[in-house]
Amino acid sequence: MVDRDEEVTRKSGLIYAAAFSLVFSVGSLLGVGWVLDRWLGTDPWFAVAGIVLGAVVGFYQFIRLVSKVS
């Protein structure tokens, strides 16, 4: 019974880490893009690129972490 609880805890921790990684990647790269847009006056192009790049990086990390669950 204890082994099953530990396995559930491990898997749920990996899922939370995967979700946090996705959200953090998009948010942080959006923030970097927004700062670059404000600095360079290229509104909204770097923010859009940050969202796209953040989504790519985030989904890569998400898939990598979720594949460890099974």
- The secondary structure element, H or E, covering residue 14 is helix 2-40
Mean pLDDT across 11-24:
92
What is the distance between the alpha carbons of residues 50 and 32, in angstroms, rounded to a whole number? 7
pLDDT score at 69: 82
For 22-67, the pLDDT digits (tens) are: 999 999 999 999 999 999 999 999 999 999 999 999 999 999 988 9
pLDDT score at 1: 65
Mean pLDDT across 2-24:
89
- The secondary structure element, H or E, covering residue 58 is helix 45-66
Task: Check whether 2 has a pLDDT greater than 70.
Answer: no
